[in-house]
Chains A and B, each alone.
Chain A
Amino acid sequence: RKEVEQDPGPFNVPEGATVAFNCTYSNSASQSFFWYRQDCRKEPKLLMSVYSSGNEDGRFTAQLNRASQYISLLIRDSKLSDSATYLCVVMSGNTPLVFGKGTRLSVIA
């Protein structure tokens, strides 16, 4: 089983739609969780950290379910500029971050 698994997509959604991505992780000792965004031919950048109680940043909401070992990202009112690949990332102790392969989102006008 891969350490971090994501649906690769692509998710093709119209502008204004709500879209959700899920991610599962295998290491129950994982302590920190993140979503990164990667635009085509660019480097990944931190979108948001994921906290146990869930957290929101504008149109983006991240949730963590430790019991089921999954993380989710919800994007409301999708914009064309949200088109990118979203990477689920997990950290355990002092080891390197573990990246999922990413979920590709295309928002269509």
Chain B
Amino acid sequence: DAEITQSPRHKITETGRQVTLACHQTWNHNNMFWYRQDLGHGLRLIHYSYGVQDTNKGEVSDGYSVSRSNTEDLPLTLESAASSQTSVYFCASLRREAYNEQFFGPGTRLTVL
């Protein structure tokens, strides 16, 4: 079955380290997204991509970057992790057809100490 996976599922890191969260989908969807979710804020869009070599900033992109070298993967990099980036991170992909369903990965819980 097609799916979307994230790794690692849990990560503890230290302030200032570079961290990369992986996201992989097997639906061949062009549209992929990264969100963070914090209490009181709901889902906030970090970066998104509409296809290979395409990346766009979301509402909370500072301190994060993404790259899209193939259809299946959209890794999220925290250039220099900060405690304010402690959060749950969700990756998602979307098939833009009549149904327009967006599928989410299981999430990565990141703690920055």
Contacts and interface: CB of A to CB of B under 8 A. Distances in A.
A32 B106 CA distance: 24
Contacts, number: 37
Contact of A43 (B33, B41, B48, B105): B105
A97 B102 contact: yes
A44 B99 contact: no
Interface residues of B, number: 20
A99 B42 CA distance: 8
Contact of B43 (A41, A94, A99): A99
Given A96-B33, A96-B48, A45 B41 contact: no
A101 B107 contact: no
Nearest to A44: B104
Contacts of A99: 42-43
Nearest to A36: B102
Nearest to B56: A96
Interface in B37-92: 40-43, 45, 48, 50, 58, 90
Interface in A31-73: 32, 34, 41-46, 49
A96 B42 contact: no
A101 B42 contact: yes
Contacts of A101: 40-42
B42 A43 contact: no
Contacts of A96: 33, 45, 48, 58
A85 to B, nearest CB: 9
Contacts of A102: 42
Contacts of A43: 90, 104-107
A45 B104 contact: yes
B99 A49 contact: yes
Given A42-B107, A49-B99, A94-B50, 8 more contacts: A41-B107, A43-B105, A44-B104, A49-B100, A96-B45, A97-B102, A101-B40, A101-B41
